[in-house]
Amino acid sequence: MRLSTKGQYAVRAMLVLTLHAMENPVSLRHVSEVEEISEQYLEQIFVDLRKAKLVVGHRGAHGGYKLSRQPDDITAGDILRAVEGPIAPVDCVRHQHGESCQRVNVCITRDLWARLRDSMSEVLDNTTLADLARKAK
């Protein structure tokens, strides 16, 4: 039940984008220095974030990444889903493709995993970047 470093890094990186002026794009080099994360690994992570339309990239000198929406409109859940896929402790309780589990009738524990997923989603979907930024002061 552990979150990958990719997920952790993604949230931290997005928080850096939030804390820095929303106007100017922030370069990965800068994020890398501030958060002590490999710049090239960050690149990979931002491929996912860009595909999920959470950030927009600006090439060239003084380029970088900007949030594509307001910080109060991006949740930790959005970020984790972008880089890690659906938030679901086991495959049979993903919201999409819900019918992947063949022994659904027999599977009593399924309900437990569903409730676990829901409680995880609740926390992650109700925490926005704005919330996190507020705590950082």
Partner DNA sequence: ATAAATCCGAGCAAAACACTAGGAAAACAC
Partner DNA sequence: GTGTTTTCCTAGTGTTTTGCTCGGATTTAT
Footprint of DNA (CB under 7 A): 2, 4-6, 27-29, 38, 40-41, 43-44, 46-47, 50, 56-65
At its nearest, how many Å lie between DNA and the CB of residue 10?
A: 11
Helix ranges (H only) for the chain are 5-19, 28-35, 39-51, 76-84, 110-125, 129-136
Position among 29, 89, 95, 97 found at the interface with a copy of itself (CB under 8 A): 89
**CA 101 to CA 137: how far, in whole Å?**
45
72 binds a copy of itself (CB under 8 A): no
Taking residue 43's Cβ as centre, other Cβ atoms within 10 Å add up to 11
How far apart (Å, rounded) are the C-alpha atoms in residues 83 and 55? 13
* Interface positions with a copy of itself (CB under 8 A): 1-3, 7-8, 11-12, 15, 76, 80, 84, 87-91, 108-109, 111-113, 115-116, 119-120, 122-124, 127, 132, 135-136
